[in-house]
Each structure stands twice: as C-alpha cells, then as structure tokens.
Amino acid sequence: MFKGSFTALITPFKNGNFDEASFRSLIDFQLVSGTHGLVPTGTTGESPTLSHEEHIKIVEICIEQANKKAPVIAGTGSNSTEEAVYLTKHAEKAGADAALVVTPYYNKPSQEGLLQHFTKIANSVEIPIVIYNIPGRSIVDMSNETMSKLFKINNIVGVKDATGDIPRVYFTKNDVGSEYNMLSGDDATTLAFMAYGGHGAISVTSNIAPKLCSEFHSLCMDKKFHEASTINDKLMPLHRALFLESSPGPVKYAASKLSLCSSEVRLPVTSISDSTKKIIDVAMRHAQLIN
C-alpha cells in the first residue's frame, strides 16, 4: 500500500526541450526532503504534451535517479486504451513500482467503458494500478460500484481521488473496502481526506515544499491531526495559489523562485500573469519558503 506524500513531479523544460539535469536535481531535492514517493509523467508533468520518446525517457530517468529510495508511480494513462497499455507495459519493464492511470478524457466513456478500459490495462501487466479519478479534467466520474468491480482484479489497488469530495472518502472506504488504497489528488482538502481515512496524497505543492508536505503526512499517518493542521495552515495559501491558473504554470513559477528549474511550460498551458505571481510570492513567504 502506498502511504504519505507522493510528489506529482513537474517536467522541467529549457528552450522547448526536456531539461534532464533540472529533473534529476528536482528528484534529489525530493528525496533529501523526505518525500514518500514520486509520480512522473502525470498531469502536473504535462503528459498530454510529451512525445512518447520523452514520456519513456522521463519515466526511466525518474526510476534511475530515485534508485529505490522512494517508490515511483509512473503516469501511464491515455484516452486511448491501446496507448495506455503500451505506456503501462513500458513502466513495468522500466521498473516502476506502480502505474497511475487516468480515466479517459474527452471520450466520455460509460461506466462499462471504464470497466473494460481498466480491465484491459490491468490484465496486460502485473504491477499495481492506481486509478486516477479527476472529473474536472476528464469529464467522467468513476462510480464506487465500478471501482468495486475493478478492485476484484488483483493488481488494481486503489485510487487517486481528485474530486475534492471529502465525504466520498468514507463511502469509498465502505463501498469498495478498507484495503483500497486511497490517495488524495487535491492538496487543499488533504487534511480532511486523511482524517476520513485516506492513506496519502499525490501532491502538486510538494514539488516546492516537499519537507513540509512529508512532515504533514507523517503526522497524519500517526493520527496527530492537531499538529498536522499547524503545517496545513502554513501551506493552505500556497495550495490555493498554485491553482489560480492552469497547472502546472503556477507551480513551475514557484519552482523557478527556488531555482529548481525554469518556469517554462508548453502550449496550450501558458506562463502565469504578474498578478498571480504576486499572490504566489505572498503564499511562499507565508510558508517560509522564501524571504
């Protein structure tokens, strides 16, 4: 079971190309800060704009740089079932600890379509599969009934829930099963998610505040929610600020303030406005990440 703070890694770019040196340094920064796990090539990693060659290279580099010091859950989802199978097979061959597979976006499949999509992917590999349920981006919302059916497949182990619907944690735990691995995909509601019985989060904020995020999750896992709320108070303005514009524009700007990488993004995501930069600066100072 995956527990704690998993970073939804940004993909650094330089002059339009993947910046390998900054990516490796970012992973080192995560590991030394106590991050519990790494998630390359997800939405925050701008996976929709990566070529297959880039996607494969980034997953392989992440696994190599992590060097078994933290588990790697590789983003391998697609709105094409065959493409998702291909990327998931590669992640397994490369040595990933699990695959994060998003519900197909734009296609708007039925619950039966979701069932068949994930069944085919899971049956093509042996590594654990984490379902990524994010209706705000994919338009489809996987029901607990569908998750219960998929959980019967041995290597489908849990969900990254980015719905922001906190009571849903309770119902998922009860409908699907207490052994179902539940990871939050919404930084701002993670404290409540954990209090309701969640196991961790795949976090955007932890790109720039990995130590605070890992400490927060360690406290939550120890049921020390009062102490965890103190850290959450530090992070909450940042959680909000990093989603004022299309992600990962804001978090890449914040990363550039810490000299982790450039703020460069790929179209159709654009650089953020000056007004948003000012809000992020204030939030970073509140979290004591900058002076």
Residue 43 tokens read as: 């939405």
Q: Which of 3, 149, 160, 252 is catalytic?
A: 160
Report the distance separating Cα 211 and Cα 192, nearest Å. Answer: 20
- Give residues with Cβ within 8 angstroms of 177, minimum separation 6: 148, 151
| Known catalytic residue at 132 | yes
Q: Which of 86, 89, 105, 132 is catalytic?
A: 132
Sheet containing strand 98-102, edge to edge, reads 37-39, 4-8, 200-203, 181-184, 156-161, 129-133, 98-102, 73-75
Write the single-letter amino acid at 212: L
Report the distance separating Cα 42 and Cα 230, nearest Å. Answer: 29
HSE at residue 107, side-chain half, CA atoms within 13 A, is 14
| Known catalytic residue at 3 | no
Which sequence positions are flagged as catalytic?
Answer: 132, 160
